[in-house]
Amino acid sequence: MANSTYDKVGNSPETSGGRGFSYTLKQLFYVEKLYSKTGIALLIIAGIIIAIGTALMGPAFGILLTFAVAALPLLYSIIARPKFGIVVLIIMAYMLFVLGQFGIDGPVGTIMDCLQVLLAIGVLIKIKAEKNWSYFKGPITTVVLIWLGYNLLEVANPTATSRMAWVYTVRPVAIVTLSYFVFMYNIRSVKYLKIIFKLWLILTIIGAAYGFKQEYIGFNAHETAYLNTPGIASLLFIDGHWRKFSIFSDPVAFSYNMVMPSIFCICLFILPFKPWKKVVLGLLIAFFMEAMVFSGTRGANVLLPAALILFAILRYNKKVLIFCCCAAALLVVLIYVPTTNVNLYRFQSAFKPNNDPSYILRKNNQKRIQPFILTHPLGGGLGSTGIWGIRFSPGSYLASFPPDSGYIRVAVEDGSIGLLIFCIFMFVIMRTGINNYFLIENQELKIYCLAMTLIIFAYNLANFPQEALVQYPSNILFYLWAALINVTLKLDKALKEEKTAELKLTA
């Protein structure tokens, strides 16, 4: 009888009766789940509005309205359920440039910023309640904060020609850096770690498959319009063949996001999987690498061989040595085999840079900018080169300089001091990854840490010929992999503590 004085939500009649509208909404959505006359009527009205709006204004109306309706519960879920928010963040990072295909040309970049800020707010709320910052302790966190702090201090750079350029440049740098802390705090189980890896591989398969579609079927109307934009053909139409970019921002991002999962799959071969799973891994590697070739990005071709060298050093044994020797022999054949295939020819040219006109041009540009770097230890300020330099500092010396390299951009904009900090930043992540690999005892977590370390190493190499860490999803994934280097060690310690506790109980 006592339970009869409470409704299904747990409120007493006296309490619920005084809530009025809020109680009605809770009853309608939470209890009835719209399965009532009122709920069905609301769904019919919403359906009619979406149908009419879509018919009159196109698919963008329906998509935007649907997002608007789902906005509030989605925002709540992202803050209250950060694991769900991380999944949304990773999916959005991959699908950011696909939204334009549906006519959504709004501030999708700002939406990504807001998503990351919401996740960071969720972490701050929980940290404030726990009053425990120890989970973030470690050398990687230290260098992340130093790198972030230096970029924030660049606002006071006396040689900077524009403060607005700093505002537009530092926003994505600072916000993307926050994702490191989000990943560090929220990834606390091997099960969730596997969910992230599976999601990553699924998104990569989608990207590779769409690259095959562009190569063998062609571009859609939206992509064709983009390729007809003035100046694009000179970048993407090489030797009578279009470079493919799949669902990514450009061919460079496409190629790098094919190489990194390939490195991960190679590392998974070490785990005691069933034979059919290893066959699937081998097929995925071939699938990703073939898609990478469609991008025509020569810098990506050297990443996998370089990662295999570090892989052989860290995982030295007879089987690994035989595998690497076979891979090296295959690579030599691919480099020197005569061919008329455009994609294979561009692959071969990556290993003969001195015969490549574009490499020679970049080398000359870097030689030209060296005096400026040597005389400006703080650099020319964030956003002084590239599109922001052209927009906010037109006619300046740096605005017309094409960096063509992540390291060169850092040297020009942040100066030699910034370049030193950035190199230390990369070194500490790599060093921590190698140390953690040898400290971790759990075989599965050990291989995950090895894979993350090799991927960070590959990103380091990729950042020299191209800007590898500025576009989605690479910028988000970089901080994810850096965080996982720490997370895998923490999970390993937690597993050892659980085993110790179990032994004490059974003793």
The pLDDT of 94-115, averaged and rounded, is 74
Is the predicted pLDDT of residue 18 greater than 50, yes or no? no
> Beta strands 241-242 and 237-238: pairing type?
antiparallel
Digit-coded pLDDT (tens) for 44-59: 777 777 777 777 767 6
Give how far the C-alpha of residue 20 lies from the chain's centroid of Cα atoms, to the nearest Å: 45
All residues at 6 or more sequence positions from 224 whose CB lies less than 8 Å from its CB, including other chains? none
pLDDT at position 17: 43
pLDDT at position 63: 67
Q: What are residue 502's phi and psi, to 5 degrees?
A: -65, -40
The SS3 assignment for 238 reads strand
pLDDT at position 168: 85
Tokens describing residue 139: 């050398």
pLDDT at position 72: 66
Is the predicted pLDDT of residue 34 greater than 70, yes or no? no
The residue with greater pLDDT, 134 or 185, is 185
Q: How buried is residue 1: exposed, middle or buried, by Cβ count under 10 Å (0-12/13-18/19+)?
A: exposed
Contact call for residues 39 and 32 (beta carbons, < 8 A)? yes
The pLDDT of 271-300, averaged and rounded, is 90
Tokens describing residue 382: 């964030």
* Range of lowest pLDDT (331-335, 364-368, 487-491): 331-335
* Range of lowest pLDDT (247-251, 345-349, 501-505): 345-349
User: What percent of the chain clears pLDDT 70, i.e. is strictly above it?
Assistant: 82
The SS3 assignment for 110 reads helix
Q: Please count the CA atoms within 13 angstroms of the CA of 469 that sit on its side-chain side.
A: 25
Domain boundaries of the chain, sorted by first residue: 126-506
The pLDDT of 465-486, averaged and rounded, is 92
**Per mean pLDDT, which of 57-66, 118-127, 185-194, 375-384 is the most reliable?**
185-194
Supply the pTM of this predicted model.
Answer: 0.83
All residues at 6 or more sequence positions from 18 whose CB lies less than 8 Å from its CB, including other chains? none
CA distance 4 to 223: 62
* Range of lowest pLDDT (141-155, 336-350, 431-445, 484-498): 336-350
